[in-house]
A = this chain, B = another copy of it.
Amino acid sequence: MAGQKRSALTRFEKEGGAWWETAISDVAPGRIILRGHRVEDLIGNTSYAGIVALVIADLSLTPRQAQLLEAALVAGVDHGVRAPSIAAARMAATCGIPLNSAVATGMNMLGDDHGGAGEQCMELLHQVVEHSDVNAGARQAVARSLKNGTNLPGFGHQLHKTIDPRRKPLLSLIEDAEARGEIGGRYKSAALALESALSEAKGRSLTMNIDGATAVIYCELGFPALAAKGLFCLSRGVGIVAHALEEMQAGVLIKGPCPPGVDLVRYVGRAAPRNTSGADAASDTQQ
């Protein structure tokens, strides 16, 4: 990775690039241009999903396409306080940092394993659609993942074992959009082929989860896989803000993951020397 990147100096000194070069925005006194549009022309005429597509990936969506993107963003806003991103943001709020820093704390959690399945699923869908026979491509991908002992990103869910409740409404919107010609449907077909191949190989139903269904939408609309974590930040960000704010308003102080009385913590290190100074009791606690 490191070897493939050029030095910032190389681009600046030898290739004539500016130090800060962007195709996203042009800001000057009285002027804010975003991807070639004046901000005053966007306000009121573009939805949030529309501006997300325009600014992040230079995509000009139709209103219906924007609604499809919006549904994907809405679907992932929250998954309860046991999600580490939500819990960390709530704990941060009890430590006395500003709301934006509590949000940053939660965002930082959305890494490869917590928020990365979307990106991996998008890459997988790209592989499958490149195959001349989508079903064969799907079976190969499933076989490869079983051989490596890895999960197929975007399929199955640790909690929602029967089915992820977000799959059906998202898939239904995807099919509507395809029927109207708003999207091509290739990535949807690839995802359904992966569902079949995976369920067959496992001998039980294993269906798309939130990461799989949203990956289909992002692929159909033209987002690059690398954007997936960013889109998830804006989606789950809603829940992160909400939970951090709720905790700030509750007004409690320095809350760790669990209270002292609860038996979830165990010290498995070296035996401590016999305490001669009269320690009080035994339960762990925060501070």
CB neighbours of A145 from chain B (8 A):
3
Q: Does A283 reach chain B (CB closer than 8 Å)?
A: yes
Contacting pair B252 A6 (CB below 8 A): yes
A133 interface residue (CB < 8 Å to B): no
Q: Is the CB of B233 within 8 A of A82?
A: no
A62→B90 CA distance, assembly (Å): 29
Stretch at the interface among A10-18, A123-131, A187-195, A198-206: A10-18
Q: Which of A233-287 contact B (CB under 8 A)?
A: 233-234, 237-239, 241-246, 248-273, 275, 277-287
Instruction: Say whether, besides A237-B237, A262-B264, A108 and B113 are in contact (CB < 8 Å).
Output: no
Q: Check if A96 sits within 8 Å of B80, measured CB to CB.
A: no
Which among B6, B31, B96 is the interface contact of A1 at CB below 8 angstroms? B96
Asked if residues B81 and A273 are in contact (CB atoms below 8 Å), the reply is no
Interface residue tally on A, bucketed by range: 35 or more
Of chain B, the residue at the smallest CB distance from A107 is: B104
CB contact between A277 and one of B4, B25, B165 (< 8 Å): that residue:
B165
In contact, A5 and B111 (Cβ under 8 angstroms): no
B2 pairs with A96, CB closer than 8 A: yes
Residue of B at shortest CB range from A72?
A: B43
Query: Shortest Cβ distance from A150 into chain B, in angstroms?
Result: 3
The answer, yes or no, to whether A35 is at the interface (CB within 8 Å) is yes
Please tell me if the beta carbons of A255 and B84 are within 8 angstroms of each other in the complex: yes
